[in-house]
Chain A
Amino acid sequence: MRDFIAKYGTALAGLLVFVFLLVFARNFASTANLLNVLKQTSFLAILATGFTFALLTSELDLSFANLASLAAVVTGGLIAGGTFWGLAVVAGLGVATLGGLVNGLLVTGVKVPSLIATLGTAAIANGLTFMMTGGVAFVGRWDPMFLALARGELFGIPVLVIVMVAVVFSAWFVTRKTRLGTHMLATGEAQEAAHRAGIATRRMKLIGLTLSGFAAGIAAVLLVANLSSASPQMAGDYLLNGIAAVLLGMTMFEPGRPNIAGTFVGALIISVLANGLVLLGAPYYLQDIMLGVIVIASVSVSASVLKKAAFSV
Chain B
Amino acid sequence: MKLRLLLSLAVVAFAVTRAVSAQAFELGVVAFQMSSETHARVANAVEAAARKKGWDVVVLNSNGTLQTHAEQIENLVQSGVDGIVLAMSKPVEFDAQMQEVKDAGIPLITVMSGASPNALFDIQVNEYAVGSESALYLLGQLGYEGSILTDRFESNVGTRIRGKVLDVVLSENQAVKEVGSHSMARTKSWQEDVRNGMNALIMQNAGNFDGIWASFDGQAFIIDDLLKQQGMQKGDVVLVSTDGGPETFRRIKSPDSMLMATVAIPFEAMGEAAVDAMQKIAVDGAAKETITSGPYLYMQADLVDQSNVDDFIKE
Chain B neighbourhood of A232, CB < 8 A: 185-186
The reply to whether the CB of B161 lies closer than 8 angstroms to some CB of chain A is: no
| B78 sits at the interface (CB 8 A) | yes
Q: Which listed residue (B34, B58, B93, B153) contacts A282, Cβ 8 A? A: B58
Set A30, A130, A226: member contacting B186, Cβ < 8 A: A130
Do B184 and A135 touch (CB < 8 A)?
yes
Contact A151 B96 (CB under 8 A): yes
Q: Which A residue's beta carbon lies closest to that of B96?
A: A151
Is B61 a contact partner of A285 (Cβ separation < 8 A)?
yes
A281 and B76 CA atoms in complex are apart in Å by 9
Complex CA gap A40/B72 in Å reads 10
> Quick one: CB contact mask for A34-66 with B, threshold 8 Å, 1 for yes?
001000100100000000000000000000000
Residues of B within 8 A of A236 (CB): 65, 188
Judge whether B59 is part of the interface by a CB distance below 8 angstroms: yes
Alpha-carbon distance between A90 and B70 when the two chains are bound, in angstroms? 25
Which residue of chain B lies nearest to A229 when distances are taken between CB atoms in the complex? B93
A231 contacts the other chain (CB 8 A): yes
CB nearest to B64 among chain A residues: A233
What residue in chain B is nearest A23 (Cβ atoms)? B11
- Asked whether A234 is an interface residue with its Cβ less than 8 Å from the other chain, the reply is yes
B56-78 CB contact bits vs A (8 Å, 1 = yes)? 10111101111110111011101
Once the chains are docked, how many angstroms separate the CA of A284 from the CA of B61?
6
Chain A 199-233 against B: per-residue CB contact (8 Å), 1 yes, 0 no? 00000000000000000000000010011110111
Q: Is there an interface contact between B71 and A274, defined as CB atoms closer than 8 Å?
A: yes
B80, CB-defined interface residue at 8 Å: yes
Given contacts A136-B155, A284-B59, contact A43 B93 (CB under 8 A): no
Of the candidates A237, A274, A279, A281, the one whose C-beta lies within 8 Å of that of B65 is: A237
**Could you say which of B18, B59, B74, B92 contacts A40, with CB atoms under 8 Å apart?**
B74
Are B187's CB and A30's CB within 8 A?
A: no
Q: How many residues of A contact B (CB 8 A)?
A: 42
Cβ of B79 under 8 Å from chain A: yes
Interfacial chain A residues near B64, Cβ < 8 Å: 233
B94 at the interface (CB under 8 A from A): yes
A138 to chain B, nearest CB (A): 10
Task: Find the residue from B56, B78, B186 having the highest chain A CB count within 10 A.
Answer: B78
Complex Cα gap A281–B21 (Å): 10
Q: Which interface class (under 10, 10 to 19, 20 to 34, 35 or more) fits B?
A: 35 or more
**Chain B, 15-37, contact with A by CB distance < 8 Å: what is the 0/1 string?**
00010011000100000001000
The CA of A27 and the CA of B104, in the complex, are separated in Å by: 13
In the assembled complex, B247 has its CB within 8 A of some CB on chain A:
no
Most chain B CB within a 10 A radius of its CB, from A43, A137, A141: A137
The answer to whether B186 and A227 touch across the interface, beta carbons within 8 angstroms, is no
> Is B236 positioned at the interface, with any CB of A under 8 Å from its CB?
no
The answer to whether the Cβ of B305 comes within 8 Å of any Cβ in the partner chain is: no
A98 CB-CB contact with B under 8 Å:
no
Given A274-B71, A281-B58, also A233-B188 (CB < 8 A): yes
B95 at the interface (CB under 8 A from A): yes
Known: A278-B79, A283-B59, A284-B59. A228 touches B71 (CB 8 A): no
Contact A136 B66, beta carbon cutoff 8 Å: no
Asked if A278 and B58 make an inter-chain contact with CB atoms under 8 angstroms apart, the answer reads yes
- Does A6 sit at the interface, judged by CB under 8 A? no
CB atoms of B67 and A43 under 8 A apart: yes
Structural contact, B78 and A32, CB atoms closer than 8 A: yes
- Name the residue on A nearest B34 (C-beta): A284
A234:B185 contact, CB within 8 angstroms: no
Whether A228 lies near B34 (C-beta < 8 A) is no
24 chain-A/chain-B pairs, Cβ below 8 angstroms: A24-B14, A27-B78, A28-B78, A32-B78, A36-B74, A36-B78, A40-B74, A43-B67, A133-B185, A134-B185, A135-B155, A137-B66, A137-B93, A139-B90, A227-B67, A227-B93, A228-B96, A229-B66, A233-B188, A236-B65, A274-B71, A274-B75, A279-B75, A281-B79
Q: Residues of A at under 8 Å CB distance from B?
A: 24-28, 30, 32-33, 36, 40, 43, 130, 133-137, 139-141, 151, 223, 226-229, 231-237, 274-275, 278-279, 281-285
Chain B positions within 8 Å of A, measured between CB atoms, are 14, 18, 21-22, 26, 34, 56, 58-61, 63-68, 70-72, 74-76, 78-80, 90, 92-96, 153-155, 183-188
* Contacts beyond the supplied A223-B67, A229-B92: 7 A-B pairs with Cβ under 8 Å: A26-B80, A28-B78, A33-B78, A40-B71, A231-B66, A279-B79, A282-B58
In the complex, the 3 A-B pairs of residues with the closest C-beta atoms, listed nearest first = A135-B185, A284-B61, A278-B75
